[in-house]
Amino acid sequence: MCRYFPYRCVVRWAIVVQSWTVLTLTNSQLTPALVPSCPTQCICLSQSQVVCNSAALRGVPSALSSSVMQLSLSRADLRVLRSDAFAHLRQLRRLSLDACNLTRIRPFAFRGLPRLDELYIQNTPLATVDSFAFAALQNISSIVLSHNRIAQIESYAFAGTNFIKLISLRNNPIKRILAHAFSGLNDVSQIELPSGVKSIEPQAFAGLEGVGILELAYMDLPALLADTFFGLTRVGKLVLRESDLGIIRVGAFDGLRRVDILEICNNKIDRVEELSLIQNNSVQTFKLTGNHMLETPEAVILEVDDIIIRGNHLPCECGLDPMLNPLAMTSDFADENLCISPLKVRGRSLSSAAGSVCRGDGGGSARARAAACASPVGENLAQPLTLTSLVIAFLANS
């Protein structure tokens, strides 16, 4: 066409060039308005990655782009997180609040973050986890709350939060776990609790449905109370280890349901009033290993598929067959467990010590020794007394 009408081609090219020029100028003018500016106290590494590690920052910046996926507010002077504090950042996937001056988290502070995968709050003065503080978080992988000053977790702190791989509370001065502290928390792979817990309220874990590993270690309890684990269901592994458990009260494990492995290992136990795992508990494997028990358990009922009881230190009593111990539920019980008392047989297997507990000074308890040795002593003393009486009578008559 340009061969016969060259002026038409010239006009067409002129229109194209003019259009590109207009579009270029328009885009250059609109770009600053479309891309939000970076807040003063922040460094925007990209539209999706922002670092606001400034002590001058006293709140969550409202001018951040809604496209931010990674946000760090470490070392900010962020003292209180209000409810829905990050609702304008719905694309957020990783949030760090480490080393800020956080003292309070209001209920539902993290609501409206459907894509949040990692949450870190460490090395802060946070002392209490309020009810519903971490409520309504969905599909998050980890909530790391280690190295804070958390002394108390209030009831329903994690309500409505599901499908979490890890909740870490290590290195916090938590001394008491309140009732329903984990209620409403479903399908968490692992919960890490700190050492030094001194009290676990009845139903502390009620409403915690579906936990892969729940480990309680380095505790100093006066007693494991009735209903401590009531309402805890679908547990992969429940471990009580390296602790002073005090007295295991009647009903301590009542209401515990559907447990793959229950392990009690390397603890000091003053007394066992009752150790009852009936079929309603649905415990598949029970392991009692390496514990030091100061008294023989009073009552043991284990309706469990697989039982492992070995390496425990138990009282060895004079004249008592070790297989009469309430814990003797395995064929190798007497060979696989040890004496904790009396001193002369401490560390020996129950089977090897059974015949020597009553022999010699200090063997067995005082009551057992007296019962075992009453008749021979009486017989030996009777002969000298009788002879002495006869001599005195003879001398008197003469």
The first and second tokens of residue 121, run together, are 């709050």
Task: Give the mean model confidence (pLDDT) for residues 272-295.
Answer: 95
Q: What is the pLDDT of residues 88-115, one digit of tens each?
A: 999 999 999 999 999 999 999 999 999 9
Q: What is the pLDDT of residue 369?
A: 40
Q: What is the pLDDT of residues 325-354, one digit of tens each?
A: 999 999 999 999 999 999 989 999 999 987
Q: How confident is the model at residue 35 (pLDDT cuts 50, 70, 90)?
A: low
In this prediction the pTM is 0.78
Q: What is the pLDDT of residue 386?
A: 40
Residue 394 has pLDDT above 50, yes or no: no
Element (H, E) at 239: strand 233-241
Q: What is the pLDDT of residues 141-168, one digit of tens each?
A: 999 999 999 999 999 999 999 889 999 9
Q: What is the pLDDT of residue 389?
A: 44
User: Which DSSP category does 220 fall into?
Assistant: B
Residue 170 has pLDDT above 80, yes or no: yes
Rounded Cα–Cα distance for residues 320 and 18 (Å): 106
The first and second tokens of residue 228, run together, are 């401590």
The first and second tokens of residue 172, run together, are 């916090």
Asked if residues 104 and 80 have their Cβ atoms less than 8 Å apart, the reply is yes
What residues does 46 pair with on adjacent strands? none
Residues 6+ apart with CB under 8 A from 288: 264, 265, 308, 309, 312, 327
The residue written with tokens 């776990």 in the block is 177
**Rounded to an integer, what is the distance from CA 188 to the centroid of its chain?**
11
Element (H, E) at 389: helix 366-397
The residue written with tokens 């009692």 in the block is 288
Q: Regarding predicted confidence, which is higher, 220 or 22?
A: 220
User: Which DSSP category does 82 fall into?
Assistant: P
Mention the CATH class of domain 39-375.
alpha beta
Asked if residues 277 and 262 have their Cβ atoms less than 8 Å apart, the reply is yes
Residues 6+ apart with CB under 8 A from 150: 126, 127, 128, 129, 169, 172, 173, 174
Q: What is the residue extent of each domain of the chain?
A: 39-375
Rounded Cα–Cα distance for residues 209 and 306 (Å): 23
Q: What is the pLDDT of residues 49-79, one digit of tens each?
A: 999 998 888 889 888 999 999 999 999 999 9
Task: Give the mean model confidence (pLDDT) for residues 39-48.
Answer: 90
Q: How confident is the model at residue 24 (pLDDT cuts 50, 70, 90)?
A: very low
Q: What is the pLDDT of residues 130-145, one digit of tens each?
A: 999 999 898 899 999 9
Rounded Cα–Cα distance for residues 292 and 269 (Å): 6
